Structure 1
């Protein structure tokens, strides 16, 4: 600001840009010669000044009732001369209406001077168009667009071909080129491209991850289905005992891409907050659906970003809010310009409920909730006309209370169940929901709309079915609580069928921003989001390393964190503990999911294989790097440590003879001294070891290994990983 900026380009004698084009911080070539302090050869001045250059008086000459004034001006500008007899209340009048400077000098003669004193000023009225010959041909460069490629692009001098769609693009039209990040900005003629999405391709092998779209922005429709785990999905669990008929969603699945390894949070409120913010529960603080779990106003949400970016998308949310706050919370906390639905987690009666609409509550609404929500959605879509829109449909069906939905919402051939059991009613509620989703889709142009469907958490425990059960359902960190259906269909979903990519509901945040054409990194600067866009998966170009994080806290039941990483995709670590209680001792469980879908065998109760140990170490490191306090042992300096061992019998169990002492105790890499075979109450115990560390060694402690002499009968090794560590200050 206030300075002079020079930008240099390289051109041929005829003015055509040549390599390396823009000369900035990077120079491709070998510089030669020394410093240049003056120009000795003849110089032709083509232009001086700039459009924002101010006007200042340069010279004044008078004589014979004539005055000649010279101002410094902008070459190519057009000025008007104004005069006034006084600066105090005098009126300015235009003496000359159009004066053009010679290069950067504006000279005017006033031969009408009749007063002994006069005041003059000039105003710049216009600037002529710049001569851009040799640089920009408006018939060629109609569009400038930034493409994102995988990193490590070829050197500019090694580019042999460059296309956008089927159009050849001259190398001279590269506006910026960053090999390391893969960010390339091109100028090209978009008028010759047909409607659709077009990738940029370099040397036939380097293909952009994003597309240049013609024909307007695509709509975004997000459908969130309450309490729907994969066990209740006919697409994910085709051999299930009791499954609903979902013909409308089935049509979407057949047309789109289904994810076989999608995960959510274990409860509905944390999932909604996670999608809205792109952050994990320990960051957005919504850990459960209680009254104290309220989405903070300090969180940055999807609709707030769309609004801040001056997006053209119309936006609305209908259905279930369930993120706390007052009646205007969907607007104040969520950023939604339009909301209608239910404020809390569910209704007591699907046909007698209180409806919240933009801060106003209407009591005792008698329309079926799912039908009412779809009515709102269809009205909104129709009202948008040809404008792009983003619609968040968060259904509360098939959440409890279990009920029999209206008969007119049955699929063709009738409901698949007629009984009164919880399972029968749950299935019918899903089938009625599918019917209403079909009605919503009648006003949706699937050629112009990207549709994403996801379950918000696992199936309720009352109706959960194989492969889950035995308490592993909604509300749990086990797979029955977090493994949910996810599928997507639309013009930006270019891969169809199924994918086993490991994804999480948090990834919908950046996915929706990408679908809306918003730079998520720039829009969320200052916020530590953990969302990885699904767009590369939609396009078949994904190479990202992905990790699932599920959390629950503040519920006094099953609090903790679960982690799955695609580095060791078969393994899952669960850390049960209260992240906010410094006296709490975490409990660790490790499972092999392909062989133990319902997580019944904690691998940490037996010696780990090399692979399992590596997976455990990797996932524990992920947890520690993420933070949040789940794996922290009680704070403080510790003298005495109690280690619980796997509770099992047989030749590979801890010695039954309590006089057999360990030969080695290692706690987080530190050697501890054996004290006794007893628990923290002082009771002699086969499965507990009391030991000591140097006072002040501190914590937290995450793992321990206790080794006893080999079994005297079999010679087998007896080394055990801890299942619990209790540290006493």
Structure 2
């Protein structure tokens, strides 16, 4: 037999191997001769994570609303592989992303919500976990993480929850990292990079033209670049908005001015501007790292494009002899919603050529009780999705996994590659972007941040040479931790052998769905949860209330007004500007609820639960909420006081049918109860509730056990190996010398008393418990 030569063997030909080392037919004939060594190489893995992107957005699933975004490349991936209809993520980003790389539910790791700068490192992935890149390394894989993944704390201020600094991703197992520590793009710079301009002048981050804004707009000016160059741009038939054209190219537009020999001092390249800048942290296999700020030319451009460029650059530099896994996190479509470059959107896409889309004339002034700019948000969301889809297509093409057809469509034949491509959303769509019209009719009041279907049902696409009978849809339930098991199976890694037996993962197998079209359900119950991270008491930042009216939710997560408003929220903290709100702002949501009830007795806003869990058998779904309750004082809202936390159980029927799924909407519950359901149910529903409640009660016990692990159940066992020993003292010693502030190490996994410091008090806890053995799991 002759082996047909291929130009790029690791990407285009070679064999596809899972556990059984399937051979790639396109690179050999059928004569039975031994395959080449290249044909035996393990498959590469390309893992694409899309931000705030639920099932509601996609026509390939039969949804998309009345005006769906254009996603031809994601559709091509779905048609060339498998589409999972009942895949769940966690309700918010960091918990989901941590499940991918640890195989554990959030309550098993205490990573319960999106990590912010005021959280402790105890609510981040521990370096003592057998993370996915560590597990794949046992099979010869090299791993990279590109773009947004939001697994760690940030380097803001004293970097209080970033013990290993910019080497954190390397410490967690990745050979290369080129991405963001931030959870989202920074807010849009409404000064458009001009230090002399008042904030709010240019709401979409670029200088408007005079049609959009006759007062502050400009039809010509100088476009300065971070490289030091400058170019004059004037309005024309090809360039309708010079300020936008300049921003799309990474520049800052000086309206009505000509290029100067020396760049004017008011041109501010240090300010981040939504999707058109980034601060990239890079780290390498030798432990070195560096930060690329917004002043660097390589950190200016459109994020989806920069993320694709960085992914392509790394993958092209890999040896053909070493299999790789590359995780690419696209920032889109996370807020802030911002128009993408015109070049990434089709001429015929609604809104592309709408010059008023980012105009002050399009504003709908809002006050408490009104959802603002919803039409614009849906249009901009569609534009951003299409732009991201175009970049995902380019990623596949530039990696040699696909080509462009003459008509611009994607020619993707995964059976001719040696790369498994997996695409998944990290949680449901955020409120103002949810497709609430038919087909789909998803629920924006129960979207991202909630364990209801709109908040956790996400796309999961898998394509590659190991997929049998591509074009199938898998109806069985899968959960985000299962990807840990899937990637291990593809690489040939043994999870049971690689992970300590006394602390097994929550992931269930998935590979059989790819290789066996007749595979029955593997997971009997699906589970999702979010909660409250450990808060750093040493932080001098105090979050204050923010209300997202589209979700009817009040929460105290954001430390300032800008972040609240960036998420389409109404700020009730310091400087809110709302009549009747104290200058120092409200401190908790009970005060906000009292204030709003005074304005409207029927106001529907409620407190975001401290803990939210959901479990489903595919037909019935149990949601359990635990939230703070407060007294109501409409006459003097500041007097509202905390009463207690209460549990509420809600039982629903669900079905992700097409075109309109049966969702767990408000008012659609079969039964509710506090703390549990006691109402009579029919026999089938009662049987389902009993099974779901048993699982939910177990998950509550697991959460309670792990939340109290450091303080009660096993004080001193910072590495979670079930024993307090010399390893714990050695680990404490290392971390107590890192990330010092005023001579003391800040938060780490050995901050055992959770005071924001890794100090002698924590060492004393270890010494007092030396020799202690502890259980690591809670029995079912």
Q: Quick check: 1:232–1:244 contact (8 Å CA) kept in 2? A: yes
In the alignment, what sits opposite 1:231? Answer: 56
In the alignment, what sits opposite 1:571? Answer: 620
In the alignment, what sits opposite 1:535? Answer: 511
- Is 1:319 matched with 2:147? yes
Q: SS of the counterpart of 1:616?
A: helix
Closer, same or farther: CA 391–411 of 1 in aligned 2, 3 Å: farther
Q: Quick check: 2:106–2:112 contact (8 Å CA) kept in 1? A: yes
Closer, same or farther: CA 524–213 of 1 in aligned 2, 3 Å: farther
The structural deviation recorded for 1:300 is 2.1
In the alignment, what sits opposite 1:562? Answer: 613
The structural deviation recorded for 1:218 is 0.8
Unaligned runs of 5+ in 2: 1-16, 24-29, 154-161, 187-273, 284-288, 358-375, 402-413, 534-554, 556-607, 629-641, 656-660, 673-678, 709-780
The structural deviation recorded for 1:578 is 6.4
Q: Quick check: 1:417–1:427 contact (8 Å CA) kept in 2? A: no
Q: How does 1:48-59 map to 2 (within 5 A)?
A: none
In the alignment, what sits opposite 1:335? Answer: 173
Q: Quick check: 1:330–1:339 contact (8 Å CA) kept in 2? A: no
Unaligned runs of 5+ in 1: 1-144, 149-163, 166-189, 197-211, 636-729
The structural deviation recorded for 1:516 is 0.8
Q: SS of the counterpart of 1:286?
A: coil
1: CA distance, partners of 2:504 / 2:644: 28
Structure 1 stretch displaced more, 262-271 or 457-466: 457-466
Cα deviations by residue, 1:184-205 (Å, 9 ceiling, x for unpaired): xxxxxx9946659xxxxxxxxx
Closer, same or farther: CA 195–597 of 1 in aligned 2, 3 Å: farther
Q: SS of the counterpart of 1:589?
A: strand
In the alignment, what sits opposite 1:599? Answer: 665
Q: Quick check: 2:130–2:498 contact (8 Å CA) kept in 1? A: no
The structural deviation recorded for 1:462 is 1.1
The structural deviation recorded for 1:629 is 5.8
Cα deviations by residue, 1:22-66 (Å, 9 ceiling, x for unpaired): xxxxxxxxxxxxxxxxxxxxxxxxxxxxxxxxxxxxxxxxxxxxx
- Is 1:491 matched with 2:465? yes
Cα deviations by residue, 1:143-176 (Å, 9 ceiling, x for unpaired): xx9989xxxxxxxxxxxxxxx99xxxxxxxxxxx
The structural deviation recorded for 1:616 is 0.6
1: CA distance, partners of 2:664 / 2:616: 18
In the alignment, what sits opposite 2:484? Answer: 509
The structural deviation recorded for 1:342 is 1.4
Q: Quick check: 2:48–2:327 contact (8 Å CA) kept in 1? A: yes
Q: SS of the counterpart of 2:526?
A: strand
In the alignment, what sits opposite 2:432? Answer: 462
1: CA distance, partners of 2:520 / 2:650: 30
Q: SS of the counterpart of 2:388?
A: helix
In the alignment, what sits opposite 2:650? Answer: 589
In the alignment, what sits opposite 2:276? Answer: 351
In the alignment, what sits opposite 1:170? Answer: none
- Is 1:361 matched with 2:291? yes
- Is 1:277 matched with 2:277? no
Closer, same or farther: CA 481–194 of 1 in aligned 2, 3 Å: farther
The structural deviation recorded for 1:385 is 4.3
Q: SS of the counterpart of 1:404?
A: coil
Q: How does 1:545-694 map to 2 (within 5 A)?
A: 545-554=523-532, 557-566=608-617, 569-577=618-626, 584-594=645-655, 596-600=662-666, 601-605=668-672, 607-628=680-701
Closer, same or farther: CA 628–415 of 1 in aligned 2, 3 Å: farther
Cα deviations by residue, 1:509-565 (Å, 9 ceiling, x for unpaired): 000011111111111124320111210111223452432111111176234343444
2: CA distance, partners of 1:543 / 1:570: 14
The structural deviation recorded for 1:306 is 2.0
In the alignment, what sits opposite 1:381? Answer: 315
Q: Quick check: 1:576–1:630 contact (8 Å CA) kept in 2? A: no
Q: 1:438 aligns with which of 393, 408, 425?
A: 393
2: CA distance, partners of 1:452 / 1:534: 12
1: CA distance, partners of 2:527 / 2:73: 31
In the alignment, what sits opposite 2:126? Answer: 296
The structural deviation recorded for 1:414 is 4.9
2: CA distance, partners of 1:578 / 1:290: 20
2: CA distance, partners of 1:415 / 1:517: 46
Q: SS of the counterpart of 2:332?
A: coil
Cα deviations by residue, 1:63-98 (Å, 9 ceiling, x for unpaired): xxxxxxxxxxxxxxxxxxxxxxxxxxxxxxxxxxxx
2: CA distance, partners of 1:452 / 1:146: 14
Decide which structure has greater helix share: 2
Closer, same or farther: CA 505–418 of 1 in aligned 2, 3 Å: farther
Q: Quick check: 1:260–1:501 contact (8 Å CA) kept in 2? A: yes
1: CA distance, partners of 2:650 / 2:18: 46
Q: Quick check: 1:230–1:237 contact (8 Å CA) kept in 2? A: no
In the alignment, what sits opposite 1:119? Answer: none
The structural deviation recorded for 1:356 is 1.5
Cα deviations by residue, 1:438-461 (Å, 9 ceiling, x for unpaired): 111011433211000001001110
The structural deviation recorded for 1:426 is 1.0
Closer, same or farther: CA 214–361 of 1 in aligned 2, 3 Å: closer
1: CA distance, partners of 2:490 / 2:43: 7
In the alignment, what sits opposite 2:90? Answer: 265
Closer, same or farther: CA 470–397 of 1 in aligned 2, 3 Å: closer
- Is 1:451 matched with 2:421? yes
Q: Quick check: 1:330–1:336 contact (8 Å CA) kept in 2? A: no
- Is 1:423 matched with 2:368? no
Q: 1:372 aligns with which of 294, 300, 306?
A: 306
Q: Quick check: 2:58–2:64 contact (8 Å CA) kept in 1? A: no
1: CA distance, partners of 2:65 / 2:304: 25
Structure 1 stretch displaced more, 496-505 or 541-550: 541-550
State the TM-score, normalizing by the size of structure 1: 0.55
2: CA distance, partners of 1:624 / 1:582: 24
Q: SS of the counterpart of 1:260?
A: strand
The structural deviation recorded for 1:475 is 0.6
1: CA distance, partners of 2:89 / 2:353: 31
Q: Quick check: 1:316–1:391 contact (8 Å CA) kept in 2? A: yes
Q: Quick check: 1:473–1:481 contact (8 Å CA) kept in 2? A: yes
The structural deviation recorded for 1:630 is 6.6
Q: SS of the counterpart of 2:621?
A: strand
Closer, same or farther: CA 417–612 of 1 in aligned 2, 3 Å: farther
2: CA distance, partners of 1:193 / 1:562: 54
Q: SS of the counterpart of 1:367?
A: coil
Cα deviations by residue, 1:676-713 (Å, 9 ceiling, x for unpaired): xxxxxxxxxxxxxxxxxxxxxxxxxxxxxxxxxxxxxx
Closer, same or farther: CA 413–591 of 1 in aligned 2, 3 Å: same
2: CA distance, partners of 1:252 / 1:584: 45
1: CA distance, partners of 2:454 / 2:40: 42
The structural deviation recorded for 1:481 is 0.6
The structural deviation recorded for 1:321 is 2.9
With CA pairs under 8 Å and 6+ residues apart, which has the higher RCO, 1 or 2? 2
Q: Quick check: 1:266–1:475 contact (8 Å CA) kept in 2? A: yes
Q: Quick check: 2:527–2:613 contact (8 Å CA) kept in 1? A: yes
Q: Quick check: 2:619–2:653 contact (8 Å CA) kept in 1? A: yes
Q: Which has the larger radius of gyration?
A: 1
Q: Quick check: 1:577–1:587 contact (8 Å CA) kept in 2? A: yes
1: CA distance, partners of 2:152 / 2:425: 20
Q: SS of the counterpart of 1:471?
A: helix
The structural deviation recorded for 1:583 is 6.6
Q: SS of the counterpart of 2:431?
A: coil
Decide which structure has greater strand share: 1
